[in-house]
Structure 1
Amino acid sequence: MSRNKVGKPKIAFLLPQLIKAAPIIYNKNLVAHLQDEFDITVFYFQGDDKVGFTCKTQWIDYQKEFSFEGFDLVQSFGYRPDVYLARNRKRIKAQLVSTLHSFIFFDLRSQYGYLASLVFGTWWLYCLMKFDQIVCLTQVMKDYYGSFLPKQKLNVIHSSHVVIQQTEATDSKIGDEIANFKSNKVLLGIIANLTYQKGIDHVIKAIADSEQYKLLIIGDGRYRKTLEKMVADYGCESKCLFLGHLEDAHQFMPLLDIYVMSSYQEGFGLVGLEAAHYKIPIVCNDIPVFREIFMNGIVEFYQANSAESLLRALDDVSGNMIDYGIKLHEFCTPKYRIDKMSNEYSKLYTTIIE
């Protein structure tokens, strides 16, 4: 075991890039809570450290080999880090751990199509076979990957919320735009990378003829034009507002009345924990992952193939939004604490290293 001057095991985190996005803030929070026990360095392929990691950070070239000499364990997150470590596995003596945030084939198919998902998904799984341990965010995800990977390598560690502490005032122009758009209606919100997987299409269809609800969509992606065309085809331009990508989008969460977790498939749903942090009530598409994270009475579930089901869930919540928001906050705050998540990672790392 490698030790630094104060006797801590040395761990490397390998990230694809350093940007203000939920998965990166997830790692920032995790690192901060593990530093008392481990000497951590964050390595990355792109960007610069504007996120504010509390440990050493170092850029490495994706095209060149790097042995991580002197480290006991390397923790990776995402396709490129996983592929990079697998490609250089023979030169790396450290133990390898990957954390998976999505269902590989579904996620890749949603973004790049069936053929690409088959090719790159199969390659990704082959790379993961070279890892010592793999972390899944839910039991549902672990069961899914148990069909492809050795079950003894799979672990479940639930995420924690990744709300960024706000250092500047909310952009007043955007805030005013949202307020003017909302008018006297119930404002629904979705913050996401705009892909088919996020299920935003069925929300647009459901509210197209409703006089009660408006939908705010924050995020960008390849599917945005399709969604905008859908809004035009349904003639509901006055009911849907696309704001594109906004840094620190969570700061606008308090302006929402209800958050809609509409995904057809999801690795965990971190933004739902952000909504809980702000006491914003949630309606969820009824998928196994969301059933594992939440429970009836805390959120309302609906069937994505039924506009009536979604509108019924929205009506139930909109009639009692304050109570739903409080119950959600009280349920999620103790259950998904950062210290609980970091303790689980600490146990896993210690077991592997020793």
Structure 2
Amino acid sequence: MGWAVKMKELMKIAFLLPSLKNLGPIIVVKDIIDGLLKNKNVSVTVFYFDDFKEDILDFSVNCIKISFFHKFDFNGFDIIHTHGIRPDLYTKIHKFDSFLISTQHNVIYDEYIINNSFLKTKAIESIWKFALTNKNLVISIGGTASNYYRKLLPNNKVVNVPNGRTIANNQGYGCSEDDVAKIKVLKERYTCIGTCTRAIKLKGHAQIIQALPNLPDYCFVLIGDGGYIEFLKKLALDLKVDARCLFLGYRKNATEYLNLFDIYAQTSYTESISIALLEAAAAKKAVVCSLIPSNTDVFQENEVVFFNLDDIDSLTQAFLKARIYREVLETNIYKKYKAEYTSEVMIEKYHNLYKGLMNEI
């Protein structure tokens, strides 16, 4: 193969992304790159397809916009590391001599079945599978995802590298004064449930609002925007809990708000390893989260409180339990996070993986 050359002293890696938008998978890539750059023998360039005027991440490396329909000359790069279906397809349709790696930030079927028919979901899964078949290495995130991709891609090498996340703990000082004032007004009367995620059906926020009639001394704060936000607002109004719900919209510094919450809620129907969940753990929050395999891959019952999806009684009891055992949960989740899920732990695994690949070529 063209990449079977003597190992170089300088490792050149190209990351290929859909965009630079401030979303979970792109945040993971930025963290990986920031960590890799601490090594003098690593050179990184980011390539992407779509431009956005706002809500983009500031990368500390050269970022080059390319077209999906035109082959870019990646000659000289040892590794092309793709993230997302279009980057995966791009490196399938166009032929490259570099070592091809793809990180899968989801479980394809589980993510797309939420909003699509079975046939459409299977079609998307088949297209993505086609895009991955030429990859020298597929990286999954968590044990559940690993099992899925090993069955989907029996002829590919699949390696599990869990997400990691490290945040600045600034005690909410980066929040706007107006936002802080609104949250504090609610906290004077209620236990504050909060979450920082996009407002889409997959995230399961409606379950929190549906539980609020059973929790008269709780309120809900959502940091995030998306196509589901108006539905959530109407649901809160219909259930007469709108006075206890605060929808602040998108905030670039969303993690700054974590210290304002009493309990963090992660109610997703499907995830790989949730970046938002790891950020809550990093902020030492008591967490209530959905009982899905990807969450049980990461935390145990003494570290978070699980609830059964779409079981509002189960969710209600989970919030009550989290308040009672808040201090114990905060201690336990933070201990697990520091041991296994910091950015530093994740970056070391990726760096060792890259070095191992370079030793093979």
Do they fold alike, i.e. is TM over 0.5?
A: yes
Shift of the alpha carbon at 1:157?
0.3
Shift of the alpha carbon at 1:152?
4.4
Q: Which residue of 2 aligns with 1:184?
A: 189
Contact 2:214-2:316 at 8 Å conserved across structures: no
Q: Which range moves more in the overlay, 315-324 or 270-279?
A: 315-324
Report the residue type matching 1:119 in the other structure.
A
Q: Which residue of 2 aligns with 1:246?
A: 251
Q: Which range moves more in the overlay, 233-242 or 130-139?
A: 233-242
The question of 1:321 aligning with 2:326 is answered yes
Q: Which residue of 1 aligns with 2:306?
A: 301
RMSD: 2.4
Shift of the alpha carbon at 1:282?
0.3
Secondary structure in 1 matching 2:47: strand
Distance 1:269 1:318 in 2: 22
Shift of the alpha carbon at 1:108?
2.5
Secondary structure in 2 matching 1:146: helix
Contact 1:2-1:71 at 8 Å conserved across structures: no
Q: Which residue of 1 aligns with 2:150?
A: 146
Shift of the alpha carbon at 1:76?
0.9
Contact 2:150-2:158 at 8 Å conserved across structures: yes
Q: Which residue of 2 aligns with 1:59?
A: 65
Taking a change above 3 Å as real, the CA distance of residues 164 and 44 of structure 1, as seen in their structure-2 partners, is farther
Taking a change above 3 Å as real, the CA distance of residues 50 and 239 of structure 1, as seen in their structure-2 partners, is closer
Contact 1:111-1:195 at 8 Å conserved across structures: no
Secondary structure in 2 matching 1:110: coil
Q: Which residue of 1 aligns with 2:89?
A: 83
Q: For 2:78, which of 58, 72, 75 is the aligned residue? A: 72
The question of 1:230 aligning with 2:232 is answered no
Q: Which residue of 1 aligns with 2:13?
A: 11
Give unpaired runs (5+ residues) of structure 2.
Answer: none
Secondary structure in 1 matching 2:151: coil
Q: For 1:331, which of 321, 329, 336 is the aligned residue? A: 336
Give the 5 Å matches for 1:1-354. Answer: 7-35=9-37, 36=39, 37-47=41-51, 51-88=57-94, 90=95, 92-111=96-115, 114-150=118-154, 152-163=156-167, 169-353=174-358, 354=360
Distance 1:214 1:200 in 2: 13
Distance 1:114 1:220 in 2: 27
Contact 1:25-1:164 at 8 Å conserved across structures: no
Shift of the alpha carbon at 1:151?
5.8
Distance 2:81 2:169 in 1: 25
Distance 2:48 2:162 in 1: 24
Distance 1:226 1:46 in 2: 28
Taking a change above 3 Å as real, the CA distance of residues 151 and 335 of structure 1, as seen in their structure-2 partners, is farther
Report the residue type matching 2:112 in the other structure.
L
Over residues 189-247 of structure 1, what are the superposed CA-to-partner deviations in whole Å (9 max), with x where a residue is unaligned? 12222222212222221222321211111222222232223222222211222222221
Contact 1:195-1:222 at 8 Å conserved across structures: yes
TM-score norm. by structure 2 comes to 0.89
Shift of the alpha carbon at 1:133?
0.8
Report the residue type matching 1:11 in the other structure.
I
Contact 1:208-1:239 at 8 Å conserved across structures: no
Contact 2:13-2:78 at 8 Å conserved across structures: yes
Give unpaired runs (5+ residues) of structure 1.
Answer: none
Secondary structure in 2 matching 1:305: coil
Contact 1:2-1:70 at 8 Å conserved across structures: no
Identical columns (%): 27
Taking a change above 3 Å as real, the CA distance of residues 328 and 138 of structure 1, as seen in their structure-2 partners, is same
Distance 2:205 2:110 in 1: 16
Secondary structure in 2 matching 1:64: coil
